[in-house]
Chain A
């Protein structure tokens, strides 16, 4: 684990721009060969497109001084939470083979590797209408808006529900997915199976502590039923969460393992507690996600609802209702992220149990180890609910202005998205967030 206090993210942007420009320039060098076989009536073999958001948020809270859109950010400023620029290059290599590269310039946890700022980079093989196979970097497609969470023009809000999407552990996935497509009536069905691994830099806002979160052996199945006006989606994903390269967590885990081994014969209850704390660090454990979502866009009503569970750990859900009135779409958005397990507490009672065995100094050190592990385990907890109202104003087909106000209630033991003011007394708190965003695509 590394500390990233007071490091600002701006220098990384230049490197991202350079890398993206290089990747796209490399792609463009092969364009003439493809263009030679085109006729004026063929669609272009290469297509450049993009999207952007210029956003600003103002936080009103007596307890918090920063909030993050998701855990891939660290104490972003009011301009950094939502502002972004996405650039995409699509290439048609043959009638059945195509390529896509997309990079997003936005605020990241500092020291996020350049390679993790490219969101899409894959080859797609479409042997028939019924099958599609993609190889490379794709999105895990876990939630309704997982694939377009950065594309503001694609949804009515300034940002997807913070309670639901802020903890999305997978930003991108390296691997392969196979999709079977079929139609029934006016609906299109997609069954997608994905295999791969993912790596994302995550941060706890208050402590400034960040870690490289890795998911190995991702196995996911997504079933989608879609018409232009109604989408229903269900996903099940299983993976192994690995934080082993976070040295701070590794050290805590090793210390707890030693304590567990030492105390098992004489203090089995204490050994079990040490084991639970070690498991809570999430250094190497299985995780399973289940999610269901629906989006209905009909007769000027836009209704979106999603529910998700990290089995055994959390429940997340949100509901949004919007109504289109000409160019204006007022909406309400209510979300909740709830933790099933209570927060870990420092094991102060270990001192009395261990002192007769190992002496008071060593016992105090063990308590300190347990307290540090409990604190580290609680860093990533998100437990909050919010109610937001806002309006989207479509200035043009590809340009929208949005204003949103959120009232958020945050539990003391679930504030991973919030950085606190000095002297905060570790109680539940409330925050109000005003957000203004201009979203466009080209």
Chain B
């Protein structure tokens, strides 16, 4: 489906990356080696707002972020929490500089994030669904919070 949309976009002369980032469904993913099979929305919020630290097997979870300013990252947090980049930064400043917890580990690129997901069974990340491959497992489709 996504490939077809990309093809239509290319044929229409539209910038593919912008189209994909603006429209593509975002999903929470782990590597196939992870013990996580699914997540509730509340758990997803917990992992990416520093309120949930451990995986069901007791190991420390490693939530991963894309770089600051990355459009997928901005969209992910807007969908998950309703907050934009400055508000998320203020939120993390309150938590980090009050000694409570640290924000997710920032990866250099989507490729680096995918690599970490494949290699580390404790990593949790988010990606456009179009970038999935058979070594990643979808936990949750990230949609806008209901009012």
- Same complex: yes
B90: interface (CB < 8 Å): yes
A29: interface (CB < 8 Å): no
Knowing A39-B120, A397-B85, say if A47 contacts B59 (CB, 8 Å).
no
Query: Taking the nearest CB of chain A, how far is it from the CB of B91, in angstroms?
Result: 6
**Residue among A183, A297, A441 making CB contact with B87, cutoff 8 Å:** A297
Residue-wise interface mask of B (35-62) relative to A, using a CB-CB cutoff of 8 A (1 in contact, 0 not) = 0000000100110010111100001101
Can you name the residue of chain B whose Cβ is closest to the Cβ of A155?
A: B90
* Contact, CB under 8 Å: A154 / B62: no
A398: interface (CB < 8 Å): yes
For B115, what are the chain A residues with a Cβ–Cβ distance below 8 Å? 41
A147: interface (CB < 8 Å): yes
A95: interface (CB < 8 Å): yes
Knowing A90-B102, A129-B52, A153-B90, say if A298 contacts B97 (CB, 8 Å).
no
A163-184 interface (Cβ within 8 A of B): 181, 183
* Contact, CB under 8 Å: A188 / B51: yes
For A124, what are the chain B residues with a Cβ–Cβ distance below 8 Å? 99
For A102, what are the chain B residues with a Cβ–Cβ distance below 8 Å? 97, 99
Residue-wise interface mask of B (81-109) relative to A, using a CB-CB cutoff of 8 A (1 in contact, 0 not) = 11101111111011011110010010000
Can you name the residue of chain A whose Cβ is closest to the Cβ of B98?
A: A147
Can you name the residue of chain B whose Cβ is closest to the Cβ of A393?
A: B86
Knowing A41-B123, A186-B42, A394-B86, say if A120 contacts B99 (CB, 8 Å).
yes
Interface size on B, residues (CB 8 A): 36
Knowing A228-B82, A297-B87, say if A153 contacts B93 (CB, 8 Å).
yes
Interface size on A, residues (CB 8 A): 47
A202: interface (CB < 8 Å): no
A134: interface (CB < 8 Å): yes
A102-136 interface (Cβ within 8 A of B): 102, 120, 122, 124, 126, 128-129, 134
User: A: which residues have CB within 8 A of B?
Assistant: 39, 41-44, 47, 49, 51, 86, 88, 90, 95, 100, 102, 120, 122, 124, 126, 128-129, 134, 138-139, 147-148, 151, 153-155, 181, 183, 185-186, 188, 226, 228-229, 297-298, 324, 327, 394, 396-398, 400, 441
A-B contact pairs, 28 of them (CB 8 A): A39-B120, A41-B116, A41-B119, A41-B120, A41-B123, A43-B62, A47-B102, A49-B96, A51-B93, A102-B99, A122-B99, A124-B99, A129-B52, A129-B53, A147-B98, A147-B99, A148-B94, A148-B98, A154-B90, A154-B97, A183-B42, A186-B45, A188-B46, A226-B51, A396-B69, A397-B85, A397-B89, A441-B89
10 closest Cβ contacts across the A-B interface?
A147-B98, A397-B85, A394-B86, A41-B120, A43-B105, A154-B93, A228-B81, A397-B89, A100-B99, A151-B97
